Amino acid sequence: MSEGYKNESPFPFIVIDNFFKENVITEIVDNVEKLETNNANYKFYDGAWELNKYAFERNFGSYLENIFTTLNSDEFIDNLEKLTGIKNIIRNDTTLKGAGVHRILKDGILKVHTDFNYYDSGKYGRLDRRLNLLIYLNSDWKDEYNGHLLLCNRFTHEIKYKIAPIINRCVIFNTTKNSLHGHPYPLNTPEDVKRHSIAVYYYTKNDDGIDFEGDGERPTLIFNCDDYNQTNMVSI
């Protein structure tokens, strides 16, 4: 599995359907649906690259807190390290930057981008961002709603994969300077339909002052993929 993961194109990733047991995903969705948009920790009404996005990083109740604890546990991260080949991932800590529940409303977007490469944690010092894990929570998601996760090749200017955000689907991928991803097309949903996902970002400790790719600090970078070739795009 690890070799298959590492050799994926345009960058290492995997899609895992039926990630949680049915009773667990049902309870997760129920808890997420009850979150009040006004209580989101971060609200991106009209950002340059995030629109109608709301992020909940805490105060989402004990059930969801336990889910994040599981996704940061020794057992889970042992398996994550075997899958990805990345060693010494920080574990048993749900306070690391970025983890939470994401809600996108009608017309919302997340432009294609690469993620920031590291940040300074008060607890661990500098940390390199290594992996994104996304779990989608959307029942009866229709193609015409948009909101698909696009994975793009930075060098050939191609959209390689179009991944539907369907319920209980997990996507894991390496975060590097070449891992272009996003859902740039405005959500075309009814007013009462939201795009929900769980996000967990995984880090390794950095003692060198440069990141694992040999780069200095790099912020989130936005890419315009409107003219990217879709001829060989695979829909999942």
Domains of the chain: 2-235 (2.60.120.620)
pLDDT in tens, 84-117: 999 999 999 988 888 899 999 999 999 999 999 9
79: Cβ contacts below 8 Å, ≥ 6 apart: none
Each residue's pLDDT tens digit, 162-177: 999 999 999 999 999 9
Contact between 109 and 148 (Cβ < 8 Å):
no
What are 17-72's pLDDT values in tens digits? Answer: 999 999 999 999 999 999 999 999 988 877 778 889 999 998 889 999 999 999 99
- Parallel, antiparallel or unpaired: strands 125-136 and 158-163: unpaired
Q: What is the mean pLDDT of residues 143-149?
A: 98
Task: Round to whole Å and give the CA distance between 80 and 2.
Answer: 10
Q: What's the whole-model pTM score?
A: 0.96
CB 55 within 8 A of CB 225: no
